[in-house]
Amino acid sequence: MRDPLSRTFAALADPTRRAMLARLSEGEANVSDLAEPFLKDMTLPAVTKHLKVLENAGLITKGRKAQWRPCQLNGEPLREAVDWMEQHRIAAEAQLDRLGAYLKAKTKGTRHGRK
Amino acid sequence: MRDPLSRTFAALADPTRRAMLARLSEGEANVSDLAEPFLKDMTLPAVTKHLKVLENAGLITKGRKAQWRPCQLNGEPLREAVDWMEQHRIAAEAQLDRLGAYLKAKTKGTRHGRK
DNA sequence: CGGTTAATTAACAAATCGGTTTTATAAATG
DNA sequence: CATTTATAAAACCGATTTGTTAATTAACCG
């Protein structure tokens, strides 16, 4: 059992699953629709498993319509993951800015730190 | 060998590694500084391995200063990952908006779709 | 009903992951 | 030079991941 953020990132750490999400970001699709681009590379049960990973991460929801399972993307976990990343990326860049300011101050007047 | 985006997401899919990045977003730190909060839970080699994962993903860079390895966060892979996520999250929400507009149009005037 | 279509489940194997202990390296320090 | 400090590398192990094939479920169609 893993925390939600870890499950989200783990789900995204696979190009097949990301391609499936990309496809779903253009609109609802059935399992076989989603599988189609990958059936040269893997079997249907493998696709089902990938979808299960995405579902467990809350990134997609599966409906049912007769024998079809229309899937749709849920953006919420993506938003939470982005929030985490932006928070720290921004902090890291602020660090760099402070370093830049420090270096600039340190070399002020020496006129040889330009590039 | 995995693509860069997959390596980034995989690196982020672990709370220990995320905590290390969070620490680094506040500024440079040595391996032992980064290890300190986790040494009740795991050994130092385990920490070294986590840092290797982050380094391979390009999320941190390790310098050297005598026997210390000052690490610092590199925001660039985070930015690329965020770009990917935002692109699809936004597309997904646009889908929802279109669906909402459709439902609204469809029930216009019928006065029985209220909750 | 019997067959077809869509998708899932089960059982299995190889590869990867996340930890361990032990050993090694490399620089500082007495 | 011998010791200590900071870190990495090697070998190993159990758990998880990612794929397979074969069997199963469930709904529709003639």
Q: What is the pLDDT of residues A6-19, one digit of tens each?
A: 999 999 999 999 99
Q: How far apart are CA A95 and CA A82, in angstroms?
A: 20
User: Which residues of B fall within a CB distance of 8 Å from A75?
Assistant: 88-90, 92-93, 96
Q: How far apart are CA A73 and CA A77, in angstroms?
A: 10
What's the pLDDT band for A115 if we cut at 50, 70, 90? very low
pLDDT reported for residue A21? 98
A45 is near strand C: CB distance < 7 Å: yes
Q: Comparing C-alpha atoms, which of A18, A23, A2, A11 is closest to residue A57?
A: A11
A74 is near strand C: CB distance < 7 Å: no
CA dihedral defined by B106, B110, B113, B115, rounded to 10 degrees? 140
CATH number belonging to domain A4-74: 1.10.10.10
Q: Would you say residue B115 has pLDDT above 50?
A: no
Q: Would you say residue A114 has pLDDT above 70?
A: no
A68 is near strand C: CB distance < 7 Å: yes
- Percent of chain B predicted with pLDDT > 70: 87
Using alpha carbons, list the distances in angstroms from residue B19 to A26, A42, A96, B10, B75. 34, 35, 20, 14, 15
pLDDT reported for residue B57? 98
Using alpha carbons, list the distances in angstroms from residue B106 to A63, B96, B100. 21, 15, 10
**pLDDT, tens digit (0-9, with 9 covering 90-100), for B76-100:** 999 999 999 999 999 888 877 766 7
Q: Would you say residue B68 has pLDDT above 90?
A: yes
**pLDDT, tens digit (0-9, with 9 covering 90-100), for A71-111:** 999 999 999 999 999 999 998 888 777 767 766 776 765 54
Residue A44 distance to chain B (closest CA, Å) = 22
Residues in chain B: 115
Residue with tokens 């590379």: A41
What's the pLDDT band for A113 if we cut at 50, 70, 90? very low
Cβ partners under 8 Å of residue B10, min gap 6: A9, A10, A13, B2, B53, B57
Residue with tokens 């693509």: B3
pLDDT reported for residue B112? 46
For range B5-28, the mean pLDDT: 98
Please name the residue ranges forming H helices in chain B. 4-12, 15-24, 31-35, 44-56, 76-106
Q: What is the 3-state secondary structure (H, E, C) of chain A?
A: CCCHHHHHHHHHCCHHHHHHHHHHCCCCECHHHHHHHHCCCCCHHHHHHHHHHHHHCCCEEECCECCECCEEECCHHHHHHHHHHHHHHHHHHHHHHHHHHHHHHHCCCCCCCCC
pLDDT reported for residue B97? 73
Inter-chain CB pairs, A–B, below 8 Å: 103
Residue with tokens 């936004």: B90
pLDDT reported for residue B113? 38
Residue B71 sits at φ, ψ, to 5 deg, of: -100, 145
pLDDT reported for residue B22? 98
Q: Which residue of B has its CA nearest to A4?
A: B13
User: Among B27, B82, B93, whose Cβ lies nearest the Cβ of A86?
Assistant: B82
